[in-house]
Each structure stands twice: as structure tokens, then as C-alpha cells.
Chains A and B, each alone.
Chain A
Amino acid sequence: MADNNGGLAIKPMDQFEVKALFGGDVSWYTPTNVTLWMALTVLAASALMIYGARGRALVPSRAQSAAEMTYGFIYKMVEDVAGKDAVRFFPHIFTLFMFVFFANILGLVPFAFTTTSHIAVTAVLALTVFFSVTALGFILHGTKFLGLFWISSAPLALRPVLALIELISYCVRPVSHSIRLAGAMMAGHAVAKVFAGFTAAMGAAFFLPILAVTALYALELLVAVIQAYVFTILTCVYLKDALHPSH
């Protein structure tokens, strides 16, 4: 798009630029491509869960079936991973999954902007999960929540060391949680762009990059779904720690 240098000027990172929709500077309230693609994410999620399931039929249509399966899939995940008492947080986790899932999928549309490829977005999500889960742990269990770090099954001498390690690993959670998603999204899209850039440069062998992009696209589709799944299941795991801190 911004390929005005001519020749082999592949700019794989251009696709991640945040741009104002109607020109001008990007201030905090400006409608940008972030706004557009997040709105589309909401629309896509609503299309599946509301428009798709509008029939409310006893014998579901395909779309309704897809909506019900998504519901059942996340519900079962919350129940299995975080426990039965975590079901009251099901709407929150479902919202999180729908956002990440559709943001990832919509990001694969050509010329799309992938909101989840930005560390700012995934970090806010991960930090929100981290702080809410930690606060929940303290609200539900008070100081007993700290038992999560005090491994009572370990020898007494080792416990302070283990507590330190546990504490560090706990605090690193939002970092790994957010960078995993943003990194996976960004890397795949950048590689796809690079391969696409080769198409014009390789002359007669132009079909090789096209084949590579096709294969990569299939892989990216898988990664998009898996990353949404991973993000959600990790949230459930963290939630489980807050609900049941004693291992």
C-alpha cells in the first residue's frame, strides 16, 4: 500500500499501523482503524450469537448450532478448568473469547487490521484478567490467597525459595499471556506479507510465494483459533487459582 519506493520494498509492518479513519492526528478518542475493526469484531460476534441463533429452534439451523456449540464449548471449558463455581464468570470469559477469536479471524481478511496483533490491546486484556483474578482471590480468601505461593507440601527450608519463584511466575503471567497472543498474530501476518512481497520480485517463479502464502494462510487460520483458545483457557486456569488457591 505504501509501496512507493519501487523495487523490492516490502514493508511487512505497515499493516499494523494505527491510522485515523478520517485523516489527522491520532489522539485518544480519534476513530481509527482500531475502532473500525473492533466494531466489526463486535458485529461478527453478535452476528453469530444473536443473528445466527435468532430462530431459537428446538432443532437448530446450522448457524444456531454453531452459536450453541460455541456457547457449550466455552461453558464446558470454564466448568472443567476453573470449576463449577466459576460458572458465574462465564459471561466475562465468553466475552473475552469472542473478542479474541473474532479479532484474530477478521485479521485474516486481506487488508484487514488485526487488533490483537497489538501489544497494547493484549496487554490490557491480560492485565485486566491478572488484576481482576488477583483481586477476586483476595476478596474470596483474604490472606489465605497467599497460600497459593506457600507450598505446604514442600520441606520447610525450601518454602521461602519456592514462594519467591511462585510469586515471580505469578507476576510474569500477564506478560506471557499478552505477548503470546500479540506475537503469534503479528509474526504470522508479517511473514505472509513478506511472502506476498516476493511474488512480484521472483518473476517466473511467482507461484512459489503464492503457494507459500496459501499454506501459511491455512496455518494462520489454525493459529488464530488456537490462540483464542489458549488465551481463554489460560484465563480459566488463572481464575481457578483465585477460586481454589490451595493446590
Chain B
Amino acid sequence: MAETAATGPGMPQLDISTFPNQIFWLVVTMVVLYFVMSRVALPRVAAVLADRRGVITSDIATAEEFKHKAQVAEEAYHKALAEARAEAGRIIEAAKAEMQEELDAQMAKADAEIAARTAESERRIQEIRDSAMDMVSDVSKDATKDILELFGAKADARSVNAAVAARLKGGA
């Protein structure tokens, strides 16, 4: 200490006597450090970084491929779904047509039956009306005869009948 204080100036940095020593050891250090770094450390780290980049790139490529496959599968699924829908639509259409046909047939049959029954009913109504008409005519003739007898008039059945029939026809 005393020696440095005596020989060196205030700042040890300016003590030129130590420069050769510092410079020598600095050069040794830098050369050693350069070889350690450039021959050992940096290639290793660079290799690790390159490996990682490679893995990431290939993983991304794989993911891309899977995504593509998924897209293809999705398209196939959608296509199958659309086909199934179309098929179902066709089946529904066919079933509807069949049902409509059957319905039409049934309706026609029912209409025919209703028409037949209506005709029958009308015929019977006509019959009843006719018989009722006959009965009215008979009752009228008998009543006319009875009334004529009460008045004491003699009338032959034939002329009375003709008169009543004419009267009924006219009044009807």
C-alpha cells in the first residue's frame, strides 16, 4: 500500500506501471472468453434455439394438417347431412303423395255412398209424398160424398171423383 501511495498518483487508474499487467491479463481473458463463447457456448445455445424453432415449425405444420383434415371431415359431414335431408324430403314427399291418393280414393268412395243414400232418401220421400197425395184425394172424395149425402143430393161416385180430382189438380 505504502509503495503504491508513494509511487502512484492519486488515481490508481493513472498509475502507468500497472498498465502492462492489466493489458496482458485483459488480452488473455478476452482470448479465452472468445474461444469459450464462440466454440462452446454460442453453438450450443444456437443449436437449442434452432431445434426449438424446428419443433415449433413442424408442430405448426402438423396442426395445419390436422386442421385441414378436420375441415375435410366437416365438409364430408355436411355433405352427408345434406344428402340425408334430401332423402328424408323425398320420402316425406312420397308418403304425402300416397296418403293424398288414398285420401282422394276414400273421399270419392264416401261421396258416391252419400250420393246413393241421398238418391234413396229422395225416392222414399217421393213415395211418401205420393201416398200422402193419394190419401188426401181419397179423403176428399169420401168427404165430398158424405157432404153431398147430408144435403140429400144423389151423386154418382164417378162424377164426384172426377170433380174432386179436377179440383185437387187445379188447387194444387
Are A and B subunits of one complex?
yes
Query: Contact: A41 with B40, CB < 8 Å?
Result: no
**Binary contact readout B1-41 vs A (1 if CB under 8 angstroms, 0 otherwise):** 10010001011111101111111111111101110111011
Instruction: State whether the Cβ of A67 lies closer than 8 Å to any Cβ in chain B.
Output: yes
User: A182–B38 Cα gap in the complex (Å)?
Assistant: 26
Interface size class of A (residues with CB under 8 A): 35 or more
Asked if residues A34 and B21 are in contact (CB atoms below 8 Å), the reply is yes
Q: Which of A1-56 contact B (CB under 8 A)?
A: 2, 13-14, 16-19, 26-30, 32, 34-35, 38-39, 41-42, 45-46, 49-50, 53, 56
Q: Let me know if A45 and B36 touch, CB within 8 A.
A: yes
Is B109 engaged at the interface, CB distance under 8 Å to the other chain? no
- What is the minimal beta-carbon distance from B4 to any residue of chain A, in angstroms? 6
Which residues of A have CB within 8 Å of B44? 49-50, 53, 56
Whether the Cβ atoms of B11 and A28 lie closer than 8 Å is no
Minimum Cβ distance to chain B for residue A120 (Å): 4
The answer to whether residues A30 and B45 also contact, given A45-B37, A95-B30 and a CB cut-off of 8 A, is no
Q: Min CB distance, B11 to chain A, in Å?
A: 6
- Complex: chain A residue closest to B32, CB-CB: A42
> A91-B34, A91-B42, A95-B34 are known contacts. Are A13 and B29 too (CB-CB below 8 A)?
no
Contact B22 A98 (CB under 8 A): no
Determine the distance from Cα of A14 to Cα of B34 in the docked complex, in whole angstroms: 31
Closest A residue to B3 by beta carbon equals A25
Q: A16-B11, A56-B44 are in contact. Are A27 and B25 (CB under 8 A)?
A: no
Taking a contact as CB atoms under 8 Å apart, the answer to whether A58 and B55 are in contact is yes
Residues of chain B lying within 8 A (CB to CB) of residue A217: none
A99 partner residues in chain B, CB cutoff 8 A: 29-30, 33
B125 to chain A, nearest CB (A): 103
CA distance A58 to B20 in the complex (A): 46
Are A18 and B34 in contact, CB atoms less than 8 angstroms apart? no
Most buried by B among A18, A42, A64, A182: A18
Select A45's contact among B13, B21, B28, B33, beta carbons within 8 Å. Answer: B33
CB neighbours (8 Å) of B55 from chain A are 58
Alpha-carbon gap, A41 to B30, bound state (A): 10
Q: Please, which residues of chain B bring their CB within 8 A of the CB of A213?
A: none
Asked if B29 and A39 make an inter-chain contact with CB atoms under 8 angstroms apart, the answer reads: yes
Contact segment of B46-54, B72-80, B98-106, B154-162: B46-54
Would you call A18 and B12 a contact (CB within 8 A)? yes
A177 at the B interface (CB under 8 A)? no
Contact pattern, B 77-119, Cβ under 8 Å of A = 1, otherwise 0: 0000000000000000000000000000000000000000000
Can you name 16 A-B pairs with beta carbons within 8 Å?
A: A16-B13, A17-B1, A18-B12, A18-B18, A26-B18, A28-B23, A32-B21, A41-B29, A50-B44, A53-B45, A71-B49, A72-B49, A92-B34, A98-B33, A119-B14, A186-B13
